[in-house]
């Protein structure tokens, strides 16, 4: 492995964290960023750099730009290139010795590897196809599209989504039941407390940010236990005053399993009997690796299930577009909260996404990313088997993250061992509902989609090193 550029020196293969925001040509900005990384010691002498093609892809630059930057830095003496051994940081380019160690460097280093869950591989955003879709969509848009936006969302996008969601996720939707928003968090803000009031049943493990949003809207959340079949929806009838439940049925967030088929039916029956509502958070439903995706629960009863999706996992959280497929009787209430004009979701981005979906680029991108994430998932499982066989990865059949279950009491030391090696990742504790009564689970949530391609293998190396250090696992 010492030949591999991702493994040759202490920091090699880490996400290079190059700041390319400065003024000037892309080439000179990249050269400046590489010089800074070498001067500061982040790129140590001897470190092998990624092949210019990979770095170009990860940074979204033209290959020529990166090749030219490498060539100039070689000419300046910062880098060396030898046939068969790639491009490396020159031995004589000594890092400047800091006169005084920065505060945090003395205790825990700033993370250089990132396996935190929550985002797709940002380097894979389909820039060219997105730009082409934007160009086509803006050229074809009628003049009225450039006036104030309809708060329900562009009809082009609602039509495209109705078709896509029914084809891919088994959602039963007509365009007039869809309301566009800027993502799942925005959907929660629109629904609570303007349309729905608490208390709301939720899963015992979930995203703290969403719990906080609900708390700010004065909504009391009531946790349901989780077991190997997902949330215990059989607890719903005994939860006083609860008429709505928020679930992640395709892939429980963050623990990972799908909701058992019997429970899918049971929760819909409960909603019918209680005149209640199921809120379905389908945040990564398209990413399923070992069999066909599990369809949305919404397909079982569109009058009782409110379906919410966004492009944050499939495309990018930077796009800020999402959608609600509403039971008919709630459409007007949601529109009343949204107001007279679209104030959140850019109409131009909506038109672009509509074209992106209709032209097949969305399906193609999801397919490509599914292959990439499956490969990364397989690499994670293989590395664990090889270096930390005591640790099992769970929730790996789908999604962009896995949970590594750990013996009770060992989670904090595992997170700390990773942090000491410059690896950022989360433990399960941060996802636990403060009122949960089920036994606590120890585990690491590994976002295997997060790093760019060039940084993934070394992030895994650091992860298994950190796990190997835990005595309880031997």
Ligand X SMILES: Cc1ncc(COP(=O)(O)O)c(C=O)c1O
For residue 444, give the H/E element and its range.
strand 443-447
Based on CB atoms, which residue is closest to ligand X, 6 or 207?
A: 207
Q: Pick from 310, 350, 352, 458: which binds ligand X (CB under 6 A)?
A: 310
As given in the structure block, the two tokens for residue 36 are 């800074």
CB of 243 to ligand X, least distance (A): 22
Beta strands in 248-394 (DSSP E): 277-281, 305-310, 322-325, 392-394
Select the span of 22-30, 84-92, 270-278, 312-320 touching ligand X (CB under 6 A). 312-320
The answer to whether the beta carbons of residues 94 and 49 sit under 8 Å apart is no
Based on CB atoms, which residue is closest to ligand X, 87 or 310?
A: 310
Residues 164-203 contacting ligand X, CB under 6 A: 183-185
How far apart are alpha carbons 139 and 300 in whole angstroms? 39
CB of 283 to ligand X, least distance (A): 4
CB of 144 to ligand X, least distance (A): 28
Based on CB atoms, which residue is closest to ligand X, 125 or 132?
A: 125
Q: CA-CA distances (angstroms) from residue 93 to 98, 296, 400?
A: 15, 56, 39
15 counts as binding ligand X under rule CB under 6 A: no
Based on CB atoms, which residue is closest to ligand X, 319 or 391?
A: 319
CB-CB neighbours of 237 under 10 Å: 10
Residues 82-121 contacting ligand X, CB under 6 A: 118
The answer to whether the beta carbons of residues 399 and 249 sit under 8 Å apart is no
Q: Pick from 322, 443, 447, 451: which binds ligand X (CB under 6 A)?
A: 322
For 190-245, the DSSP string reads HHTTTT--S-EEEESB--HHHHHHHHHTT--EEEEPEETTEE-GGGGGGSTT--EE
Select the span of 105-113, 166-174, 309-317, 349-357 touching ligand X (CB under 6 A). 309-317
Based on CB atoms, which residue is closest to ligand X, 164 or 253?
A: 253
In terms of Cα–Cα distance, which of 309, 282, 280 is closest to 180?
309
Phi/psi of residue 295, nearest 5 degrees: -65, 165
Select the span of 16-24, 28-36, 306-314, 406-414 touching ligand X (CB under 6 A). 306-314
CB of 53 to ligand X, least distance (A): 30
Q: Pick from 8, 152, 221, 312: which binds ligand X (CB under 6 A)?
A: 312
Based on CB atoms, which residue is closest to ligand X, 283 or 356?
A: 283
SS3 for 179?
A: strand
CB of 445 to ligand X, least distance (A): 10
Based on CB atoms, which residue is closest to ligand X, 42 or 210?
A: 210
Number of residues located near ligand X, criterion CB under 6 A: 14
Rg over CA atoms, the chain: 24
C-alpha of 395 from chain center: 15
Select the span of 34-42, 69-77, 165-173, 310-318 touching ligand X (CB under 6 A). 310-318
Q: Pick from 158, 189, 304, 313: which binds ligand X (CB under 6 A)?
A: 313
CB of 185 to ligand X, least distance (A): 4
Residues 200-229 contacting ligand X, CB under 6 A: 207
For residue 443, give the H/E element and its range.
strand 443-447
Cis peptide before 199 (omega within 30 of 0): yes
Beta strands in 359-442 (DSSP E): 392-394, 401-405, 423-424, 426-427
Based on CB atoms, which residue is closest to ligand X, 283 or 448?
A: 283
CB of 213 to ligand X, least distance (A): 10
Position closest to ligand X via CB: 183
Select the span of 78-86, 147-155, 311-319, 373-381 touching ligand X (CB under 6 A). 311-319
Based on CB atoms, which residue is closest to ligand X, 66 or 321?
A: 321
How far apart are alpha carbons 448 and 464 in whole angstroms? 14
CB of 162 to ligand X, least distance (A): 19
CB of 248 to ligand X, least distance (A): 6
For residue 386, give the H/E element and its range.
helix 361-387
The answer to whether the beta carbons of residues 116 and 308 sit under 8 Å apart is no
Based on CB atoms, which residue is closest to ligand X, 175 or 317?
A: 317
58 counts as binding ligand X under rule CB under 6 A: no
Residues 245-284 contacting ligand X, CB under 6 A: 248, 253, 281, 283
- Exposure string for 63-93, b = 16+ CB within 10 A, e = fewer: eebbbbbbebbeeeebbbeeeeebbbbbeeb
Based on CB atoms, which residue is closest to ligand X, 13 or 126?
A: 126
The answer to whether the beta carbons of residues 79 and 88 sit under 8 Å apart is yes
Residues that bind ligand X (CB under 6 A): 118, 183-185, 207, 248, 253, 281, 283, 310, 312-313, 317, 322
């Amino acid at each position: 492995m010492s030949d591999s550029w991702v493994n040759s020196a202490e920091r090699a293969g880490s996400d290079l964290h190059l700041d390319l925001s400065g003024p000037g040509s892309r080439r000179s900005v990249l050269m400046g960023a590489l010089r800074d990384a070498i001067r500061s010691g982040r790129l140590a002498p001897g470190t092998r750099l990624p092949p210019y093609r990979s770095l170009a892809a990860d940074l979204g630059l033209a290959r020529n730009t990166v090749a030219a930057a490498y060539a100039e830095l070689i000419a300046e003496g910062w880098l060396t290139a030898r046939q068969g051994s790639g491009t490396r940081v020159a031995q004589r380019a000594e890092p400047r010795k800091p006169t005084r160690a920065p505060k945090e460097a003395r205790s825990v280093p700033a993370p250089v590897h990132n396996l935190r869950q929550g985002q797709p591989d940002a380097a894979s955003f389909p820039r060219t196809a997105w730009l082409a879709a934007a160009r086509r969509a803006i050229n074809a848009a009628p003049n009225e599209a450039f006036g104030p936006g309809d708060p329900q969302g562009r009809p082009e996008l609602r039509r495209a989504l109705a078709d896509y969601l029914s084809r891919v996720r088994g959602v039963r939707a007509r365009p007039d039941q869809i309301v566009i928003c800027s993502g799942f968090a925005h959907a929660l803000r629109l629904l609570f407390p303007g349309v729905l009031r608490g208390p709301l049943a939720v899963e015992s493990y979930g995203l703290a940010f969403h719990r906080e949003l609900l708390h700010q809207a004065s909504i009391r959340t009531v946790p349901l236990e989780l077991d190997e079949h997902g949330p215990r929806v059989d607890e719903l009838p005994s939860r006083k005053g609860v008429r709505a439940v928020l679930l992640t049925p395709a892939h429980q967030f963050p623990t990972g399993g799908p909701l058992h088929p019997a429970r899918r039916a049971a929760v819909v029956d409960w909603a019918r009997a209680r005149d209640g509502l199921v809120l379905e958070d389908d945040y990564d439903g398209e990413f399923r690796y070992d069999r066909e995706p599990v369809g949305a629960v919404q397909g079982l009863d569109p009058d009782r299930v409110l379906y919410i999706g966004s492009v944050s996992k499939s495309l990018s959280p930077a796009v800020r577009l999402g959608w609600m497929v509403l039971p008919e009787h709630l459409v007007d209430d949601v529109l009343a909260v949204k107001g007279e004009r679209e104030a959140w979701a850019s109409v131009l981005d909506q038109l672009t996404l509509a074209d992106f979906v209709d032209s097949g680029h969305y399906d193609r991108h999801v397919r490509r990313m599914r292959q990439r994430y499956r490969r990364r998932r397989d690499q994670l499982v293989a590395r664990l088997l090889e270096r930390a066989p005591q640790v099992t990865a769970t929730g790996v059949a789908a999604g962009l993250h896995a949970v590594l279950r750990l013996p009770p009491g060992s989670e904090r030391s595992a997170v700390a061992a990773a942090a000491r090696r410059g690896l950022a990742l989360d433990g399960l504790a941060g996802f636990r509902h403060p009122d949960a009564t089920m036994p606590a689970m120890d585990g690491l949530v590994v976002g295997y989609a997060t790093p760019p391609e060039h940084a993934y293998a070394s992030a895994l190396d650091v992860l298994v090193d950190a796990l190997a250090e835990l005595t309880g696992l031997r």
